Structure 1
Amino acid sequence: MTDSMPVVFVVDDDQDIRTSLTRALGQRGFEVIAYDSAEAFLAAYDGEQAACLVLDHGMPEMTGLDLQALLNAQDSPLALVFITGHGGVPESVQAMRGGAVDFLEKPFRQSVLVERIETALELAETRRAARELRRGIKARFDRLTAREEEIVARMLANPAEVSSKEIGNFLGISPRTVDHHRARILEKLEVRSVVELVDLVTRLRASGGMASP
């Protein structure tokens, strides 16, 4: 794979579809990598690359919707465009609720597919950036000890009552001990104040992270 060409994965059990899409999309400037099943794709995909996945809905064994659910569970940055010859309204609704860019019925116009792929590539890059942000922030929180996590939770739950004395009374420890923990917390999280700590957690949640660190 090259960094200069946008990558499109095609997963379809129909050889003719794979061949025609590979040729047509390649002529449009995309690097196309095709697979004949969801299982073959999963065996090759590293889980990290931001790309568009053009995915057939009605495949045997693992369906397109099954693959979408698995990729979502893995926090994949891929953006999906479904193509189908016999999908119905329930399937299209499920696909769109799962974050798909579109659910196109065969035959479809090539120009429409290309437009959806371009949208998907932009979305995939946004998802990749958001995932990197989440990973970076959560890595900082992973540095905290159990006691430091308790103090952070208290600071976030009661932003107006974050003095060392108030936190110490709540946790049953001395204000001086709280001061020591607070200094370590700010250092580990790479922030300088409670305001910056709250902002860090807000950014984590906005990027799709957990409700609490």
Structure 2
Amino acid sequence: MIFDPQVVYIVDDDEDVRIALSRSLSKRGMQVEHFPDAQAFLNQVHEDAKGCLILDYGMPGMDGLELQDHLNRRDSTLPVIFISGHGGIPESVRATKAGAIDFLEKPFDLQVLVERIQAAFELGTKLRAEKTRRRMLADKRRLLTEREEQVLQHILTHPSRTSSKEIATALGISPRTVEIHRGRIQQKVGVKTTIELYELFGQMH
């Protein structure tokens, strides 16, 4: 079995900080890669890389918050931990509202950072699994015809009115036609009941 370790990515324009953090975390058995700016990181690391991102808040060019926003727009699953020598409450609030795990002011306790990294690794694993699940469901949904999609939409938006007669009335088709479409939907996505269908797609709606 191939071991695929999680990586701590450090983005900080202060070389001394990057090297010191990299050495300290490496001594604790972590795999570390570091970058001098946001663009260097984006050029080399995929947004769904396994691990977490330790990100300096204030950097020239694209700053930490802008990089976080960029990753969020790309639906990144890489958890972010901010570090800053000049951050305050407003900056911390902005970062955490945008999804950061924590905002640590320099100098910070290394053990606190290690604990945040471990939490980030766990969160990242969950986020990647959920993203894989969403992609799988989207792929299955693309197999549906236009009418099958309409039937599914009705089931998801009206979970208390999913009888064939109720769906038929809403869509202007016969109950028998609804039953045929429902059966094809369930076959295509791999479920046996309407309840399973709702449980599978309900959170995506």
Normalising by the residue count of structure 2, what TM-score does the alignment of the two structures yield? 0.92
Paired residue type of 1:36: P
> Which deviates more from structure 2 when the two are superposed, residues 168-177 or residues 34-43?
168-177
Which residue matches 2:147? 147
Which residue matches 2:196? 196
Query: For the residues of structure 1 that align with 2:167 and 2:109, how far apart are their CA atoms?
Result: 63
Paired residue type of 2:105: E
Structure 1 segment 102-117 matched on structure 2, within 5 A? 102-117=102-117
Q: 1:77 to 1:160 in 2, by over 3 A?
A: closer
- Alpha carbons 1:5, 1:29 under 8 Å: kept: no
Q: 1:29 to 1:4 in 2, by over 3 A?
A: farther
Normalising by the residue count of structure 1, what TM-score does the alignment of the two structures yield? 0.89
Q: Secondary structure at the match of 2:9?
A: strand
Kindly provide the CA deviation profile for residues 72-129 of structure 1, in whole angstroms up to 9, marking residues without a partner as x: 1211111111110111211100111122111111111211211111111111111111
Structure 1 segment 155-174 matched on structure 2, within 5 A? 155-174=155-174
Query: For the residues of structure 1 that align with 2:103 and 2:201, how far apart are their CA atoms?
Result: 35
Which residue matches 1:24? 24
Question: Once the 2 structures are TM-superposed, how far is the Cα of residue 136 of structure 1 from its aligned partner?
Answer: 1.6
Which residue matches 1:83? 83
Q: 1:160 to 1:17 in 2, by over 3 A?
A: closer
Give yes or no for the alignment of 1:183 onto 2:160: no
Question: Once the 2 structures are TM-superposed, how far is the Cα of residue 46 of structure 1 from its aligned partner?
Answer: 1.8
Structure 1 segment 124-139 matched on structure 2, within 5 A? 124-139=124-139
Q: Secondary structure at the match of 1:159?
A: coil
Query: For the residues of structure 1 that align with 2:150 and 2:75, how far apart are their CA atoms?
Result: 27
Paired residue type of 2:100: A
Aligned residues: 204
Query: For the residues of structure 2 that align with 1:199 and 1:153, how far apart are their CA atoms?
Result: 13
- Alpha carbons 2:53, 2:80 under 8 Å: kept: yes
- Alpha carbons 1:51, 1:77 under 8 Å: kept: no
Q: Secondary structure at the match of 1:104?
A: strand
Q: Secondary structure at the match of 2:107?
A: coil
Query: For the residues of structure 1 that align with 2:6 and 2:45, how far apart are their CA atoms?
Result: 15
Q: Secondary structure at the match of 1:61?
A: coil
Paired residue type of 1:113: L
Percent of paired sites with the same residue: 48
Q: Secondary structure at the match of 1:10?
A: strand
Query: For the residues of structure 1 that align with 2:89 and 2:146, how far apart are their CA atoms?
Result: 48
Give yes or no for the alignment of 1:44 onto 2:44: yes
Q: Secondary structure at the match of 2:34?
A: strand
